[in-house]
Amino acid sequence: MLKKEQVIKALETVIDPHIGVDVWALGFIYEIEIKSDKEVYILMTLTTPACPLKGTLEEDIRNAIYLLGVETVTIETTFDPPWELPESIRKQMGF
């Protein structure tokens, strides 16, 4: 049975190439819904609505979750609420 923790571990392998931090630590992932062992729904955000990495990050997220044996990954993007850099990452980056 697929567990949320497994999906989170997979998401931690997906690195935003501009920031150099994984999408989970960045707080890009707002919701994970495991519909079945073969289907996962992700609600996520990005740094801005015009983020040029949207397609790349979505593909990387899908590929990471597919490695868990999942066959269908649905990704929805929202900007409500707007993304903010987490304080822990802000400190790591020296901001």
pLDDT in tens, the chain (95 residues): 999 999 999 999 999 999 999 999 999 999 999 999 999 999 999 999 999 999 999 999 999 999 999 999 999 999 999 999 899 888 887 77
In a domain, 35, yes or no: yes
What residue numbers bound the domain in which 18 lies? 4-81
The type of residue at 55 is G
Please tell me the pTM assigned to this model. Answer: 0.93
CA dist 91 and 22 (Å) reads: 15
CA dist 63 and 94 (Å) reads: 31
| CATH of residue 76 | 3.30.300.130
In a domain, 86, yes or no: no
Q: Please return the burial class of 3, using the count of CB atoms within 10 Å of its CB with bins 0-12, 13-18 and 19+.
A: exposed
CA dist 73 and 51 (Å) reads: 21
* Structural domains counted in the chain: 1
In a domain, 12, yes or no: yes
